[in-house]
């Protein structure tokens, strides 16, 4: 292979180099602020308290931003924000860990419709979820695990009628409710 560049190879644009330089300078600045500045303060003052204060102030903006978001945004909006931040990268697969945990039935319905719209765009969804109504509405296939072992792999309809899943996870009443729910959904 020759060291000469291919005539068809596209050279990075000036915008790329501006972006790269900006990111590099920003990273150096962040490194200095996060690590070197607190150590410099400790070296100059000799005080562990000053070191702790300097270290804490570098994380203060992140903490305050989190508190502001937590105070001003309701649970559903926080869930939407988490989903949106995952989709920003043009993801082809979305991994969701209990996306409706702690939500009311009305809020669950809202997130359910949002995830259905995401799924309709061709994005694969992998869920870890304990809210069965949400899980069976969205899922084509379900895997149930107990103590790290797969005890079931199949459709939601097969899941709710599976004796092992009923015994270990759902219970008879929940299994009956889910069967009725799926029967009503199919109708």
pLDDT digit string, tens, across residues 120-161 = 989 898 888 888 888 888 888 999 888 888 888 999 888 888
- Cα separation, 139 vs 49, whole angstroms: 53
pTM above 0.75, yes or no: no
| Six token digits for residue 78 | 């926080």
CATH hierarchy code of domain 75-186: 3.40.50.300
At residue 113, the pLDDT reads 92
Asked whether 83 and 99 are in contact (CB, 8 A), the reply is yes
Confidence grade of residue 1 (pLDDT, cut at 50, 70, 90): very low
């Amino acid at each position: 292979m020759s060291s000469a560049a291919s005539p068809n190879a596209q050279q990075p644009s000036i915008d790329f180099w501006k972006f790269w330089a900006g990111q590099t300078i920003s990273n150096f600045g962040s490194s200095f602020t996060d690590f070197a500045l607190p150590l410099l303060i400790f070296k100059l003052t000799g005080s562990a308290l000053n070191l702790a204060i300097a270290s804490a102030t570098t994380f203060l903006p992140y903490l305050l931003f989190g508190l502001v978001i937590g105070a001003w945004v309701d649970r559903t909006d926080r869930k939407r924000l988490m989903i949106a931040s995952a989709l920003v990268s043009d993801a082809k697969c979305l991994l969701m860990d209990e996306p409706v945990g702690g939500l009311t039935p009305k809020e669950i319905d809202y997130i359910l419709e949002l995830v259905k719209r995401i799924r309709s765009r061709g994005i694969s969804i992998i869920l870890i979820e304990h809210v069965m109504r949400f899980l069976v509405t969205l899922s084509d296939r379900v895997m149930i695990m107990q103590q790290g072992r797969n005890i079931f792999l199949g459709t939601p309809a097969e899941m709710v009628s599976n004796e092992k899943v009923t015994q270990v996870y759902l219970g008879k009443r929940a299994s009956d409710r889910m069967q009725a729910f799926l029967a009503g959904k199919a109708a």
